Structure 1
Amino acid sequence: MFARDTDDFSPSERERIVKTAVSPRPVAWVGTRDAAGTDNLAPFSSYTYVGADEPSVLFTASRRDGDLKDTPRNAIDTEVFSVSVATADVLETVDHTAADPGPEEGDEFDLAGVERAECDRIDAPYVADAPIAMECTLHDRQEIHGRTMLIGDVVRFHVADEATRDGQVDSREITTIGRLGGPYYTHTDPVEFERRY
C-alpha cells in the first residue's frame, strides 16, 4: 500500500482515485428548460440525496471554459429541474445525452430519441419512461473548487407501476446504473441481507 499527499498526484490521478473510491455513483438524468423554451437533458454521476423525510437531492457540475454548462445554468435561471432515474436498459442512450448538440440538431431529447414528459408543478421536462422521476425546486447553490453544487427540494414524484411491488417502490424492480472509476459503469444487483442495526 502507498500513502502520498494529494498534491503529489496529478489532477487526473486524483480524479481517478476519488471516483474509484466513491463508487458506485448513481446517475441522475437531469432535465431543464431555458428561458427561451429549449429543453436540456444531461446525465450527472456526482449526485445523491441530502434529506429523505423532507426530500432533497443534489448534483454537481463542472464548468466548460469557465462557463456554466446548460443544465446548471438553466436550473439556476429558472430555479427548477427534474431528476429521472437512469436504468441499465438505456445506458447507451444515457451516454448519448452527455453530448452537446448544436442548435441545428435539436435538444438532447431529440438527439438521443428520448421521449419527454412535462412536469406537473414545475416548468421542466423529465424522461417519460423513467421508473421514477422527481420534480425539484432549487433550494441552494454553492461554488466549490470550480464546481457548481445544486440542491433541489423534491416537490413531486412520478413512479411507474413497474417500479413497485405490493404497493411500495422496490429496488428489486429497478436496475439502476452507477459510474465507477475510469470509463466503467455498473448496475444494481440487490444482495439479500437482513439489516440488524
Structure 2
Amino acid sequence: MRRGALRPFRSFLPGPRSMFYTTDGPHGLPHNPFMAVMVPRPIGWISSVDAAGNRNLAPFSVFNGMPCDPPVVFFGPSGQHKEGGPKDSLRNIEETGEFVCNIATWETREAMNASSALVARDVDEFELSGLTPLPSTLVKPARVAESPVHFECVHLQTVHLPSKLAGVSALVIGQVVGIHIDEGILTDGIVDMKKFRPIARLGSSDYTVVDTIFSMIRPG
C-alpha cells in the first residue's frame, strides 16, 4: 500500500454469530450488555446537601456534559434509597437547587468506590471515605479537595424516565456556574491528561484510566 493511501475499511456487519435481544425481555448474559458497550463513561462524583445542610457524596457513571454556553452537565440517578424514597443526591438537589460535580481520578479511585456504599441517610460520605470537604465559591455543597476538577452547578431540570426498576429513574440536568481546575494538571495552559488521569466506568465492576492519548486533526 502506497504511503498516505486509505486503509481498507473492515466491516463488522451482523452475521450468524451476532446476538440480538429486545429491551423488554431478558438478554441471557451475566451482566447488562448495554452498559458494557456504552463505554467508557466518565464518573460524576456528585456532592450535595439537604435542606438542613447535611453533606452527601455519591458517584454516578451515567454522567456527561454539554459544552454549550453556559455549559451543562447531567447525570442519571436510579433506584431508591435503602430507607425508602429517592436517593440522597436527587432529593437534596431538588430540595436545595445546587450541587457540585467532582471528577474522579486514579488517585481518588478507592475513596470514590467507598462513597458508593448504600448507607443510612445520616452518614456523611466525606467522613466515610476519608475525604476533605472544601468550601465552594458560588453554591453551598462542599467540593472534594482531593479531586483536581470541580463543577459548581445549579439545578435546571429533572426528567423522569420510564423504568422497570423499583424507585425513580431520572435525568438530572444542571447548569455549571463555576469551574475549579487544579493548576497541577495543566501544561502550558492545557489540561494534561497524563497528569489529570480521570477514570471511567466500563461494564460489570470494571473501570479504566486515561493513560493512552492520541490526536487526530479533523478534515476541513
Deviation at 1:89, TM superposition (A): 1.4
- Say if 1:55 and 1:12 are closer, same or farther in 2 by CA, change over 3 A: farther
Say which is worse superposed, 62-71 or 138-147, in terms of deviation.
Answer: 62-71
Aligned with residue 119 of structure 2, among 101, 113, 121: 101
Q: Does 1:183 align with 2:175?
A: no
Which amino acid is 1:37 matched to? G
- Counterpart in the other structure of 1:152: 174
Which amino acid is 2:212 matched to? P
Structure with bigger gyration radius? 2
Which amino acid is 1:87 matched to? T
User: Distance in 1 between the 2:37 and 2:70 partners?
Assistant: 28
Instruction: Count the aligned residue pairs.
Output: 196
Structure 2 alignment gaps of length 5 or more: 1-16, 164-168
Q: Does 1:89 align with 2:107?
A: yes
Correspondence list, 1:130-169, <5 A = 130-146=147-163, 147-169=169-191
Q: Does 1:123 align with 2:123?
A: no
- Counterpart in the other structure of 1:194: 216
User: Distance in 1 between the 2:56 and 2:99 partners?
Assistant: 10
User: By percentage of residues, which structure has more strand?
Assistant: 1
Aligned with residue 59 of structure 1, among 67, 72, 75: 75
Q: Does 1:78 align with 2:96?
A: yes
| Cα pair 1:101 1:111 within 8 Å, conserved | no
| Cα pair 2:48 2:98 within 8 Å, conserved | yes
User: By percentage of residues, which structure has more helix?
Assistant: 1
User: Distance in 2 between the 1:84 and 1:140 partners?
Assistant: 20
Deviation at 1:170, TM superposition (A): 2.8
User: Distance in 2 between the 1:29 and 1:107 partners?
Assistant: 14
Which amino acid is 1:92 matched to? E
Aligned with residue 86 of structure 2, among 68, 88, 111: 68
Report percent identity of matched pairs: 30
| Cα pair 1:6 1:14 within 8 Å, conserved | no
User: Distance in 2 between the 1:134 and 1:9 partners?
Assistant: 38
Deviation at 1:90, TM superposition (A): 1.6
Q: Does 1:4 align with 2:16?
A: no
- Counterpart in the other structure of 1:171: 193
Which amino acid is 1:41 matched to? L
- Say if 1:8 and 1:68 are closer, same or farther in 2 by CA, change over 3 A: closer
User: Distance in 2 between the 1:49 and 1:42 partners?
Assistant: 17
Say which SS state the counterpart of residue 216 (structure 2) adopts: coil
- Say if 1:11 and 1:85 are closer, same or farther in 2 by CA, change over 3 A: same
| Cα pair 1:85 1:176 within 8 Å, conserved | yes
User: Distance in 2 between the 1:82 and 1:153 partners?
Assistant: 10
- Counterpart in the other structure of 1:22: 38
